[in-house]
């Protein structure tokens, strides 16, 4: 598996969005979530790719899913440094049984202005 065959490389992010647009037969995606913090590329690389896709009108917004509080802070500060919009939403694992997001993810989302759309895992 090469560096551009997955994860958050610029090539992979752009290619994935282009393929989704084709499959969905649409011109843009409302929100794209980074699911899990992947460390196979510097965070700046996918964030710049997202910014370019937003400027091109192919994405409206981006969000994060399963990011720890410190990673929400990191991506928000990076967006500020690059002069682009911060992520608009955080999608933590959060439900009546698993409330660990209350410790750091929800406060970080609140501090950095991200909306929260909780997710729940299905157990079979």
Tens digits of pLDDT across the chain (124 residues): 455 455 678 899 999 999 999 999 999 999 999 886 666 668 899 999 999 999 999 999 999 999 999 999 999 999 999 899 999 999 999 988 889 999 999 999 999 999 999 988 765 4
All domains of the chain in start order, with CATH: 10-116 (3.20.20.100)
pTM of the model: 0.85
User: 78 pairs with which residues across the strands?
Assistant: none
Distances (CA, A) of 49 to 16, 42, 62, 110: 11, 12, 11, 25
Distances (CA, A) of 104 to 56, 85, 94, 101: 34, 22, 12, 6
């Amino acid at each position: 598996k090469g560096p551009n065959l997955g994860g958050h490389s610029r090539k992979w992010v752009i290619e994935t969005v282009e393929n989704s647009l084709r499959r969905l037969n649409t011109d843009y995606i409302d929100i794209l979530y980074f699911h899990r913090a992947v460390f196979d590329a510097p965070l700046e690389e996918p964030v710049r790719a997202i910014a370019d896709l937003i400027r091109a009108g192919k994405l409206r917004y981006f969000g994060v899913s399963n990011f720890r509080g410190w990673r929400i802070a990191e991506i928000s500060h990076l967006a500020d440094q690059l002069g682009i919009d911060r992520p608009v939403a955080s999608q933590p694992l959060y439900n009546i049984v698993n409330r660990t997001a209350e410790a750091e993810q929800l406060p970080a989302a609140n501090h950095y202005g991200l909306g929260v759309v909780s997710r729940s895992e299905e157990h079979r």
